[in-house]
Amino acid sequence: MWWKNNVAALLFLVTCGQYAQTLQPKVLCYYDGANSLTKGLGKVTLDDIEPALPFCTHLVYGYAGIDEETYQAVSRLPFLDLDTGKGNYRAVTQLKAKYPALKVLLGIGGYKFNEPSIEYMNLLESNSARFAFINSVLSLVKTYGFDGIDLEWQFPQNKPQKTISLVGSWWHKFKKTMTGGEPEQKAVEHREEFRALLRELKRTFRADGFQLGITVLPHVNSSVYMDFPAIINDLDFVNIAAYDQQTPYRNPRQADYTAPLYELRDRVPGNNVDGLVDQLIASNAPASKLIVSIPTFARGWKLTSESDITGEPPIIANGPSNPGSQLQSAGFYSWAEVCAMLPNPSNVALKGTDAPLVVDSSKRFGSYAFRVPDSNGENGVWVSYEDPDMAGNKAKYVKTKKLGGIAIADLSYDDFRGSCENGEKFPILRAAKTRL
């Protein structure tokens, strides 16, 4: 009988091990290959992101797009990605030889190349176009050794909305089913066609065990376009792009948190991490498949003489702030760029345009810092950003809610050189992974 007991104990341990493995939270690390083409300090290559990979369960390499004539999935940068060019597709999947536990996915879509949503809608409406797309995706995945795809379908976005009063909040709750301008009948059709696309993709992937995930992009009404009870079994994960709720381009006259963790007073309901998660769970998406994106980038606005000197958002602004030294992009900063603007022993004595920002230490909803305008109404800036502490808080939230994991968007904008945190590279990723 002793051997039976030992076998039973062994089977129990194996079962527990398999169960624990299925519960291991995902860490999706996104990397936009186009950042390897950036000149100067903003250039980030595959070699640069490699120190991050031990902390990632998945690496999502982006971004492929859709050919408007053939409806095939294609690289938008063939000279960079394909074997006829620099061969990044093959180079990124070959990283699995060094990191065997890593899954490498191809990211498709995501507004990267300003492709109009109508192209994606037209593809859904045609059986032959869907067939061409699926075959091209399978070809890319097999040819280059990807483990699957992350599909960031470009549905029509809702229109920008300002901060609202409590009196008007009921109306905005009522309008949550609005589709951002697309006729309701079309939206219903596209919901069913998207369901068919995912079902056909999963069927095509099943024989090879390829993974299929989707990203719910910012300002896309998932309750309109995604029938979660019908599609969830075909998906390995649902990534919630829980950032860019406010940006200096969508909301140039009003600076506010870009990725708040919880709902704030007098805001559009649901425009926060907790609200977006609750919406999907209410749509019968299981918590275990939900991934919460943590941005490594920041959004900045110019402040004016009309802006509140307390810096507390929402605050009157005047469009995107000046570019930083690394990304050279107005109103868009990496964590390293923000870190350099915050108070530290080397810059606390600076004045004027180079003075360090004033930091909000409460971090109740997110991190922000600001510098009030000078006497001429110039040099004012307000920045909403993610730092390692806030990233850790969001990872703890994911753990508490028993969600499926986190996504880091993007490795390129984390401090990959280690210039902020005592030489530690990728501090946002590390902090989030530690508390997951």
Distance CA 198, CA 280 (A): 18
Find the CATH number of the domain harbouring 223: 3.20.20.80
- pLDDT, one tens digit per residue, over 54-79 is 999 999 999 999 999 999 999 999 99
- pLDDT, one tens digit per residue, over 203-229 is 999 999 999 999 999 999 998 999 999
Full-prediction pTM beyond 0.95? no
Distance CA 407, CA 29 (A): 6
Reported residue count of the chain is 436
Whether 405 maps to a domain, the answer reads yes
Query: Do the beta carbons of residue 240 and residue 275 sit within 8 Å?
Result: no
Looking at per-residue pLDDT, the higher value among 237 and 308 belongs to 237
What DSSP state is assigned to residue 111?
T
Structure tokens at 250: 């969508």
User: At residue 343, does pLDDT exceed 90?
Assistant: no
- pLDDT, one tens digit per residue, over 110-169 is 987 778 889 999 999 999 999 999 999 999 999 999 999 999 999 999 888 766 443 344
User: At residue 183, does pLDDT exceed 70?
Assistant: no
Cβ neighbours, 10 Å, residue 24 = 11
Distance CA 363, CA 352 (A): 26
Whether 196 maps to a domain, the answer reads yes
Whether 318 maps to a domain, the answer reads no
Q: Check residue 115 and give its pLDDT.
A: 82
Mean pLDDT score of the chain:
88
**What is the number of structural domains in the chain?**
1
Whether 235 maps to a domain, the answer reads yes
Give burial (CB, 10 Å; 0-12/13-18/19+) of 160: middle
Whether 3 maps to a domain, the answer reads no
Whether 163 maps to a domain, the answer reads no
What DSSP state is assigned to residue 405?
E
Looking at per-residue pLDDT, the higher value among 18 and 111 belongs to 111
Cβ contacts of 175 within 8 Å, gap of 6 or more: none
Domain encompassing residue 97: 26-158+186-296+386-435
Whether 370 maps to a domain, the answer reads no
